[in-house]
Structure 1
Amino acid sequence: MGTWDGGPFGNDTAADFSGSLDGAAAHARAGIVHDTLTRVIDTAGYLEAPESEEVVAAAALVAAQCPGGDPVDPFSGPEEPLPDLTGLRDLALQALDRVMTEPSELMDLWDKSDSGTWRAYMRSLRNVLASQSPGEQLTLS
């Protein structure tokens, strides 16, 4: 696995994920992001790093379309336009929560090699996904 930074597209797996989105038909791209997010949510056992890296990239694509989200890196993110992914915010949050829950290889790898930058990025990404859009209303049960 090649990793060159802690951003969502700073590794070979995420770059390959971006390439698969670019190679997919325009109408299939939202489904690919959706499937990537849902694939890990119910994983009870050890979550491997490659699946987690794809989830972080997919969640970053969703967050990029949300208020306060960082734009996708034009050099390592997808080049082709993506449809509206904001409807996947809840799935992206659930998937990120799974990546950040033991047992998670990606979390373990970053804990061993990073000074907290990756966890700070994950919190920031999660905060963007969890924040309420101006047009949304909070409902209490």
Structure 2
Amino acid sequence: MGTWGAGPFDGDAAADFLGELAAMPQDRRLGAIRGVLSTAAAERDYLEAPEAEMAVAAAALLAAARAGRALPDGLAYGPQLTIGPPPQQLAVLAGHALDRVLAPDSELAELWDESDGGGREWRAGLARLRAELTGRTD
């Protein structure tokens, strides 16, 4: 797994997704985020790690936008990447996508669970992100 940390932007697929978003006009970014979240949430078979990683990054972008926070320092595409205010329904979709990422038939969840202790930190981070987006803590 091309990952360097447990954060939502700490992997190759997430960084690539941020790069793609930064390269497109701002008025198309929410549509791209919706597409990534929809793909993950709708997967009924095995969710591959890159799709899951992009969904986590998309959810984190939405959470930051909803809270009026800047993206974390050190992101290659952070300074140029802004999105418009996301509608509530997109936050709900992000919650569904995160649930799917955490499901047993998710490659990313399996990879984190097989890591040396990092899985617990990763799952806790996703639970916080999900609660921030949806207000649900279960």
Bin the TM-score by the shorter chain.
0.7 to 0.9
Q: Hey, what's the Cα distance between the residues in 1 that align with 2:73 and 2:82?
A: 11
In the alignment of these two chains, the number of paired residues is: 131
Runs of 5+ consecutive residues of structure 1 not aligned to the other structure: 133-141
Q: Hey, what's the Cα distance between the residues in 2 that align with 1:39 and 1:86?
A: 18
Q: Could you list the per-position Cα deviations for residues 52-73 of structure 1 after superposition, in whole angstroms to 9, with x for gaps in the alignment?
A: 0000000001111234x86422
Q: Give TM-score scaled by structure 1 length.
A: 0.85
Partners of 1:13 and 1:50 within 8 A in 2: yes
Q: CA deviation at 1:27?
A: 1.0
Secondary structure at the aligned position of 2:66 is classed as coil
Q: Which residue of 2 aligns with 1:108?
A: 110
Q: Hey, what's the Cα distance between the residues in 2 that align with 1:72 and 1:28?
A: 19
Partners of 1:36 and 1:58 within 8 A in 2: yes
Secondary structure at the aligned position of 1:65 is classed as helix
* % identical equivalent positions: 42
Q: 1:101 to 1:86 in 2, by over 3 A?
A: same
Partners of 2:47 and 2:105 within 8 A in 1: yes
If you compute each CA radius of gyration, which structure gives the higher value, 1 or 2? 1
Q: Hey, what's the Cα distance between the residues in 2 that align with 1:101 and 1:71?
A: 29
Q: Which residue of 1 aligns with 2:129?
A: 125
Q: Which residue of 2 aligns with 1:90?
A: 92
Q: CA deviation at 1:114?
A: 4.4
The alignment status of 1:59 with 2:68, answered yes or no, reads no
Q: CA deviation at 1:18?
A: 0.4
Report which of the two has the higher share of helix: 2
Q: 1:70 to 1:10 in 2, by over 3 A?
A: farther
Letter in 2 for 1:81: T
Is 76-85 or 58-67 further displaced after alignment? 76-85
Q: Hey, what's the Cα distance between the residues in 1 that align with 2:60 and 2:87?
A: 11
